[in-house]
Amino acid sequence: MRVSEIGEFGLIKLLARELGVQYLPSPGSKAPPGLLVGLGDDAVVTARQEGALVWTTDTMLAGNHFLPELTAWPDIGWKALAVNVSDIAAMGATPHLALVTLILPEDACVEDVLALYQGLKECAEAYGVTLGGGDIVRGPVFAVTVALSGRADEARAGGPRVMTRSAARTGDVIAVSGYLGDSAGGLRLLQDGADLASAAALYLRLAHERPQPSVSLGRAAVRAGVRCAIDVSDGLVQDLGHIASASAAGIRVEANRIPLSNALHETFPGRALGLALTGGEDYELVLIGPRPAIESLLNHDTTVTEIGQVVEHDGPHVAVVDETGREIPLPHAGGWDHFANP
């Protein structure tokens, strides 16, 4: 069924049913859990939050950030929210309320939109996010924008206890959660039309399509005294470059410490490290802080691996060194740029 057959309000009602909430308010109707005023009014209302407020937004466009031919709609919905959750996690904060905007082509299928919302809902439930409505408009491309707010603890002095990109200090230890490169490996398999039946292939595909942001690790890190973090979205080297620039610091990473999964080694022999360094979309956390703070996280339920150190350097710099300490030449990390021509 096409969206144009049931119209904007018909679609909204179906989406509300999918979410298990009442769309149109009525006298005496109750707002869904998490909301004081529910969907269908000029705005939704939530209770006052403890702590500082944290805000982020990210957009995914069909053909650019995802390929509907290759990825199931629930996975697209999951990821649209998860990439925002990852930004909140990288601040050491807890996600709270999401607004979802859909741009839909006239011939979009209602079933696809409902399936996308199924994934959004699964991610929202996994991370305790309240879906607070949004906007649906017609346009020439399928796009989903999520704006997500969260909360951060407040320090005694009144400022927020968050992790920023500019707080790396010489001598700090650099650690990363999980494994890197798996998402890029999964994307390659999808793009190549590879056989995805093996356990390794399925694992890589899941890493690409169902990223699991490390919210609880981020919270544990900020409480342990880690003050610098970033989520790996553009690729490890480029994201470390953001830290190096913002902190005016030298970053030195040991290649043989970078955590690589067996599945990645097995599926991309000889290419695993490259995928881990530049692949991107891992949505793992880079955590940078004093050794005791980092080491206190090693027993966290998410794997945390030490990969390097912040070093003295004349200006921002990222070096990846081999076991002899020699710098591995990196491709120019001009960075992911939506408008750059390849």
Q: Which is nearer to a copy of itself, 106 or 125 (CB)?
A: 106
Judge whether 97 and 128 are in contact, CB under 8 Å: no
Q: What is the Cα 71 distance to its own chain's centre? A: 17
Tokens of 285: 């956390």
Q: Give the bridge partners for 289, in sequence order.
A: 173
> Residue 48 Cβ, how far from a copy of itself at the closest point, in Å?
6
Contact status, residue 286 vs residue 174, Cβ threshold 8 Å? yes
Q: Which stretch binds a copy of itself (CB under 8 A): 72-80, 101-109, 261-269, 272-280?
A: 101-109
Q: Which residue has the tokens 């027993």?
A: 299
- Kindly identify the residues of this chain, within the stretch 239-298, that bind a copy of itself according to CB under 8 A: 245-248
Among 157, 324, 338, 342, indicate the residue that binds a copy of itself (CB under 8 A).
338
The type of residue at 57 is T
Is there binding between residue 144 and a copy of itself (CB under 8 A)? no
Does 47 engage in binding with a copy of itself (CB under 8 A)?
yes
Size of the site for a copy of itself (CB under 8 A): 86
Residue 155 binds a copy of itself (CB under 8 A): no
Provide the token pair at 164: 């920023």
Does residue 317 bind a copy of itself (CB under 8 A)?
no
4-12, 181-189, 195-203, 255-263 -> range binding a copy of itself (CB under 8 A): 4-12
* Of residues 8-27, those binding a copy of itself (CB under 8 A): 8-9, 11, 24-27
Q: Can you tell me which of 33, 69, 324, 341 binds a copy of itself, judged by CB under 8 A? A: 341
Q: Which is nearer to a copy of itself, 325 or 342 (CB)?
A: 342
Q: What is the CA radius of gyration of the chain?
A: 21
| Closest distance to a copy of itself from the beta carbon of 235 (Å) | 15
Structure tokens at 211: 């990223």
Q: How far apart are the first and last CA of the chain?
A: 37
Nearer CB in complex with a copy of itself: 201/288: 288
Coil/strand/helix, residue 215? helix
Contacts of 9 (CB under 8 A, 6+ apart): none
Report if residue 143 touches a copy of itself, rule: CB under 8 A.
yes
CB of 85 to a copy of itself, least distance (A): 11
Q: Do 207 and 186 contact (CB within 8 A), yes or no?
A: yes
Q: Is 311 in the site for a copy of itself (CB under 8 A)?
A: no
Interface with a copy of itself, residue 46, by CB under 8 A: yes
Of residues 59 and 303, the one with the C-beta less far from a copy of itself = 59
Instruction: Among 231, 234, 281, 284, indicate the residue that binds a copy of itself (CB under 8 A).
Output: 231
Per rule CB under 8 A, is residue 104 in the interface with a copy of itself?
yes
d(CA 114, CA 109): 9
Residue with tokens 């957009």: 59
| Interaction mask 170-209, a copy of itself, x per CB under 8 A | ----------------------------------------
Stretch binding a copy of itself (CB under 8 A), from 61-69, 111-119, 173-181, 184-192:
61-69
Q: Helix or strand or coil: residue 238? A: helix
Whole-angstrom distance, CA of residue 36 vs CA of residue 105: 33
State the nearest-atom distance from the C-beta of 206 to a copy of itself, in Å: 23
- Segment (H or E) for 174: strand 173-177
Please give the order of strands across the beta sheet that includes 285-289.
228-231, 285-289, 173-177, 304-311, 250-254, 317-321
